[in-house]
Structure 1
Amino acid sequence: MSTARRSAAEAYEKTPTRIFPNSATAAKELAAEVRALIEERAKQGKNVVLGMATGSTPVPFYRELIRLHKEEGLSFKNVVTFNLDEYYGLGADHPESYARFMADQIFDHIDIPKANINIPSGKVSSDQVFAHCREYEEKIDAMGGIDLQILGIGRTGHIGFNEPGSSRDSLTRRITLDRVTRQDAAADFRGEENVPHFAITMGVGTILRGKKLVLMAWGDNKAEMVAKAVEGPMTEAISASFLQGHPNARFYIDTGASRELTRAKLPWLVGPVSWTPRETRRAVCWLGNQLHKPVLKLTDEHYNEHGLGDLLSEQGPAYQLNIRIFNQLQHTITGWPGGKPNEADTYRPERANPYPKRCLVLSPEPQDAVVSMGATLERLAEQGHDARLISLTSGNLRVPDSEADKFAETLKELAGIVSDSSVWAPQTAYAEQALKMLADKGEFGADTPLLRQLKALILRGELRDAANACHLTNDHIVFLDLPFYEEGRYRRFKSTQADVDALAALLREHKPHQIYATGDAADPSSVSGICFKVLEAALKACEGEDWAGSCSLWLYRGKEKPLEGHEIDMAIPLSPSQLERKGRALSRYGALSSLERASPESNRQNAANYDALGLAQYEAIETFQRWRRV
């Protein structure tokens, strides 16, 4: 374990952990360290051996390395790389292979010799897997070992593909992928059923032989596993936890990924706290949940016995503090997301005027907004607001080939039964062309522009059906089709000024009083993360315009961890019938992930959380946080 001196705030952390404001800042610092190492070794006439990772996490780091090469002349001719893993069964030319990913993300953009690139083969025959893995280990050793190993962390806590149960001494081997890992890769493969079941991965023991290890993690979804890996016991259930035993391992994380660390989640346990209103509510909600007691039943003794004596002495006694926090929680609950007209709004989350409001609900992919806030969307429409559902991207990459095949076959069959088939000749030709392209590309080939267009049309129909179920008419649905998505693919997206300009033009056209958005807590390389950054830039471009100064921005959570009690600024309760209608709206989508399908249950859990704090009992609740510009 590292002997580096820790601050009191880091007392619970067993591996040194740096928290950065965003992934770009962390990537820049790490890339500067790598540059210094490469240049130092080059002067000595020696190589640098880097261990490389895949997935969206290292993408900002790779982009900074490319920038250093293209803009500042950093050469990679003395760099040798070893990748952590590869899907078993995929060849290097497969669009979702890690060999292809590394070529796209970094190797094709720098001057590293191809002979210096080492990636496990996904196509080695089954009877040769053991020998192939042993040769990989031997080649690493022959190069003098890995100087710096880059790592990410999966939702199962894995590094590489070392799923739960991987021992500390495990070596490079073939492994069966955990169901959660396969779920996370489902979008890349257009369906969980298409994700390979096996992979070849460096073992935990192989990784720990690296001289330096840096694990990066971005976004709220990584927070729970980061905390377990950094603060919990070393265990085979979380292979990243074994970094605690390495003398030179570090975690580089952003603010979102840090939220479950003790210094971020329970700061009063590690030092003095500035008791802001948000921090005070966090502490009181935590104490109630810790003791399984409603807020109004907490006592002075409860505060003192759980490290909150300073809060009590500053804002107590408990009775008065409890009532204040209870009232704050109660005031977040409203059935009027757009504000209640002709009513006092002192204690309501959203202002009453103007009424009706122009509301833009931004959905990164066509399903996101309905999944996360379908009932709120229905409320806005029913209460007379001009609510517009904006699908920022087409979502075509998430549509499986089977859906496109079904659509094309139906179109072809329909053309064959009409009385005058010659009228349908163009439709028949279109369907036959689509079917041929599906057959030619095979199970995992890249979609042609025509197929992406066809899949986008399928999702448009599904979104219209779902939005209609939420009482939105078709003329209140906008498909923006941001260029970064249409020109890219998962884990390879990169926004440009064209995306910002398109969204800024939409904002200026509608001049909204309210915007609902998501992605602030997401992985910055994800679709929702990129969309939120585009929104930030678009809002900045509109600063100073009359409508912008009075526009409120409400954040909802999509695939990220739900908002906690102290983070919620607006809670929209759902009756049983409203939750049922939301379920019917979700059923209009043909390809939701298991996490998306579980949205109604997540809404029920939100209500249970409010109930546990002593608030009124509801069937379900959709939650929102007011955006506070940093």
Structure 2
Amino acid sequence: MSKRRSAAEAYEKIPTIIHDSSAAAAAALAQEVKELITSRAAKKKTAVLGLATGSTPVSFYRELIRLHREEGLSFKNVVTFNLDEYYGLTPEHPESYHRFMCDQLFDHIDIPKENIHLPSGLVPSDQVFEHCRAYEEMIDAAGGVDFQILGIGRTGHIGFNEPGSSRESLTRRITLDRITRQDAAADFRGEENVPRFAITMGVSTILRAKKIVLMAWGENKAGVVTKAVEGPVTDAVSASFLQEHAEARFFIDKGAARELTRVKLPWLVGPVKWSPSETRRAVCWLSSSMDRPVLKLIDEDYNEHGLSDLLSEQGPAYKLNINIFNQLQHTISGWPGGKPNADDTFRPERAKPYPKRSLVLSPEPQDAVVSLGSTIDRLVEQGHDIRVVAMTSGSLRVADSEADKFASILQEIATLSPEGWDEQTDYARHILRLLEEKGEFGEDQPALRQLKSLILRGELRDAAHALGIPQEKVQFLNLPFYERGRYRRFKLTPEDTSEVVKLLQEFRPHQIYITGDAADPSSVAALSFRALEQALAELQHEDWSSACSVWLYRGREKALEPWEIDMAVPASPMQLERKARALTRYQSLTTLEMDVTKVNQGTAQQYDALGLANYEAIESFQRWRKV
């Protein structure tokens, strides 16, 4: 098949379809799989599917289940081979891929058990080679994989083919990359619990499939998708080997597409409709490319970098530069709640009412302090009525070591007390026993999960106190989807939306801060954002709701680019230091979360490079635009 379908995709070496949403992409892919299964069944032949795990294919599997239940799609003629499995996990372990596939697909369709194949995570070390060779032979005996489904990791891996995996690699045991283990840390209650090895199909094994579709959702995958689609074929990004396959395609959503040339720099591949946001993006890009402030760009810079149409439409350069410089300047505000008694014509947030009721929503208890700690500090300083709300307990991210530490200290205090601590001693012993019984890869019992929730509650209260927020202004929703689920397996319910509706009706905020709009659709942040979105839709006819500002911040996703920012809140060195001190209250931050002050400083440096004021750090926000 032709690798290039239009001039706009000139930089892309793999056909890449951008869908409006992950749900739309999953539905389109499921329809293709349905056609394969039914056409093979009509010929009394089997359809051999290669399947992936992780959060990415969840929506695809749910659509297959729907097709089975509502449209009668049978899987009796389907044979499956999974890409990989963690080495050392039993099939019953909650994070094993065997358990994942049963929970997400196999237990809900009519596929014969003998048609299901997964690598074993328990094969003895001296038998791994033979086990992997046998897995290859089973694939060949089934006639090869007809349709291989893939996701992509942050290292660019397909399956568990980490950087360095060769084009010729076959099914084998592999050592997991540090980044891969960090990404799985929340699933396993801490990076120290993530298995160090996995058994995976090799790159060569995957490329033998007749058809391949790789799925990717959310902005976190945008950079690595672009490397795989537009970059060179390299073993540093195993997904790039798909460029060599004649029937490989990428199905991605808008978030995962944001770094593709046709999306990020459309003027390089064809005509552009110069909307205000597109114009701002182009000028910021040109300034960065030239390493020159916006106000110093000249006509030749535009003409020599594919922007002659923009120059002819909105130029000359001096006029265009001033326009964009002023737009960027107007995003900067040290008054995130609005400046009282001021002309707010060019300010991001309106002046009235003052003070405002500011609702800061944190999908997990650390998210808000990590992403807008300095802005919270300013809101408190400027007298607004601020409430910080943890939408979920965050208990799934707390390491066993934290629970062990708490129980051990409690037990030690009890030994120093003369009497009256029998209940506390029994509780501490119970927690320590649960930790011992669960072992390295066990499931948290309710009492242990509750303790972890309480630990994070205390950390959020401490962090909020460090930013000047009293305990009574910190609230915990404990949304049901989180308490009943696990990472990669969450399902939003009407109960979740109802809890958010109650919160909004009680507080009636003038402004809301939230993240998750650009996150992986199955993540805690994305589901929390959807709960807010649905709640606001229910309350849209209330007076306060229609006048409420909603500001989006970035959590684990890539920081907003200057052209995307609608409000840039500067932080002084002292404010940044207060934020850093608040973050020390958390014991379960990821490496990315611990380095967030550097990200804030990076945003300030970008503004400085564009020719704006030089601040110590900037926290950035985007106004939510309802589509």
The aligned residue for residue 366 of structure 2 is: 367
Match of 1:531 in 2: 528
Q: Deviations over 1:25-47 (max 9, x none)?
A: 11111111111211121121111
CA distance in 1, matches of 2:392, 2:307: 46
Length-normalised TM-score, structure 2: 0.99
Mapped to 2, the partners of 1:198 and 1:433 lie a distance apart of 32
2:415 and 2:544 map into 1 onto residues whose CA distance is 53
Give 2:446's match in structure 1, choosing from 439, 446, 449: 449
The answer to whether residue 189 in structure 2 is matched with residue 152 in structure 1 is no
Find the residue that maps to 1:516 and give its secondary structure.
strand
Asked if 1 retains the 8 angstrom alpha-carbon contact of 2:82 and 2:118, the reply is yes
Q: Which amino acid aligns with 1:436?
A: R
Match of 1:397 in 2: 396
* AA partner of residue 288 (structure 2): N
Aligned letter for 1:364? P
* One-letter amino acid of the structure 2 residue matched with residue 488 of structure 1: G
- What is the rounded CA distance, in whole Å, between the counterparts of 1:9 and 1:215 in structure 2? 20
Paired with 2:180 and 2:101, the residues of 1 have a C-alpha distance of 20
Tell me the residue number matched to 1:168: 167
Provide, for residues 45-88 of structure 1, a one-character-per-residue CA deviation record: whole Å limited to 9, x for no partner: 11110000011000000011111112222211111110101111
- Separation in 1 of the partners of 2:366 and 2:443? 23
Task: Please state whether the residue corresponding to 1:256 is helix, strand or coil.
Answer: coil
Alignment map for 1:22-171 (pairs within 5 Å): 22-171=21-170
- 2:568: which partner in 1? 571
> Which AA in structure 1 matches 2:591?
S
2:344 aligned counterpart, secondary structure: coil
Residue from 479, 484, 509 that aligns with 2:481: 484
Q: Which moved more, 1:410-419 or 1:456-465?
A: 410-419
- SS of the equivalent of 2:422 reads helix
Match of residue 607, structure 1, among 597, 604, 609? 604
d(CA) in 2 for partners of 1:116, 1:125: 24
| Aligned counterpart, 1:290 | 289
SS in 1 for 2:368: helix
CA contact (8 A) 2:150 2:213 kept: yes
Q: Secondary structure at the match of 1:250?
A: strand
- Local SS of the residue matching 2:73: coil
Q: Report what 1:213 is aligned to.
A: 212
The more displaced of 313-322 and 532-541 is 532-541
Q: Deviations over 1:332-368 (max 9, x none)?
A: 1111000000111011110000001111101000000
Partners of 1:87 and 1:299 in 2: CA distance? 56
1:268 is aligned to 267
Which residue matches 1:553? 550
| Residue ranges of structure 2 left out of the alignment (5+ in a row) | none
In structure 2, the residue corresponding to 1:624 is in which secondary structure? strand
Give 1:438's aligned amino acid.
L
Name the SS of the counterpart of 1:554 in structure 2: strand
Match of 1:618 among 591, 599, 615: 615
Distance 1:177 1:368 in 2: 27
What corresponds to 2:435 in structure 1?
438
Q: 1:143-201 CA deviation, whole Å, 9 max, x = no partner?
A: 00001000001111111111111111211111111111111111111111221111111
- Choose the corresponding residue for 2:498, options 492, 496, 501: 501
Distance 1:542 1:51, change over 3 A: same
Matched to 1:56, the amino acid is S
- Match for residue 314 of structure 1? 313
Q: CA deviation at 1:518?
A: 0.3
The separation in 1 between residues aligned to 2:153 and 2:414, in whole angstroms, is 48
Give the match for residue 628 of structure 1: 625
Any stretches of 5+ residues in structure 1 without a counterpart? none
Contact 2:394 2:453 in 1 (8 A): yes
Tell me the TM-score normalized by structure 1.
Answer: 0.98
1:4 shift after superposition: 5.6
Where 1:258 maps in the other structure, the secondary structure is coil
SS at match of 1:353: coil
Residues of 2 paired with 1:589 and 1:450: CA distance?
A: 21
CA-to-partner distance for each residue in 1:553-605, whole Å, 9 max, x for gaps?
00000100110010001111111111111110000001111010001111110
What secondary structure sits across from 2:173 in the alignment? strand
Give 1:5 shift.
5.5
Aligned letter for 1:456? S
Q: Distance in 2 between matches of 1:406 and 1:231?
A: 48
> Is contact 2:151-2:216 (8 Å) kept?
yes
SS at match of 2:310: helix
How far does residue 415 in structure 1 lie from its aligned partner after superposition? 3.0
The structural deviation recorded for 1:312 is 0.3
Look up the match of 1:515: 512
d(CA) in 1 for partners of 2:596, 2:3: 43
Q: CA deviation at 1:382?
A: 1.2
Q: Against the structure 1 CA distance between its residues 5 and 465, is the aligned structure 2 distance closer, same or farther, given a 3 Å change threshold?
A: closer
Do 2:89 and 2:441's aligned partners in 1 also have CA atoms closer than 8 Å?
no
Q: Is the 8 A contact 2:4 2:14 kept in 1?
A: no
Provide the C-alpha distance between the structure 2 equivalents of 1:572 and 1:419, rounded to a whole number of angstroms: 53
Q: What is the one-letter code of the residue matched to 1:563?
A: L
Q: Which residue of 1 aligns with 2:322?
A: 323
Opposite residue 283 of structure 1, the aligned amino acid is A
Query: Which residue in the other structure is 1:381 paired with?
Result: 380
CA distance in 2, matches of 1:103, 1:616: 55
Offset at residue 544 of structure 1 (A): 0.8
2:4–2:13 CA contact under 8 A, matched in 1:
no
How many pairs does the alignment contain?
Answer: 627
Residue-by-residue CA offset, 1:196-234 (whole Å, 9 max, x unaligned): 111111111100000000000000000011111111111
Contact 2:190 2:400 in 1 (8 A): no
SS in 1 for 2:527: helix
Distance 1:345 1:446, change over 3 A: same
Q: What is the Cα deviation at residue 433 of structure 1?
A: 2.0
Tell me the CA shift for residue 409 of structure 1.
2.1
Q: Secondary structure at the match of 2:256?
A: helix
Give deviations 1:373-415, integer Å, cap 9, x for gaps.
0010111111111111010000001111111122122223323
The within-5 A match list for 1:197-208 is 197-208=196-207
Matched residues in 1 for 2:472 and 2:3: separation?
Answer: 60
Q: Distance in 2 between the 1:112 and 1:505 partners?
A: 43
Q: Partners in 2 of 1:166 and 1:265 — Cα distance?
A: 30
Shift of 1:532: 1.0
Tell me how far 1:263 sits from its aligned partner.
0.7
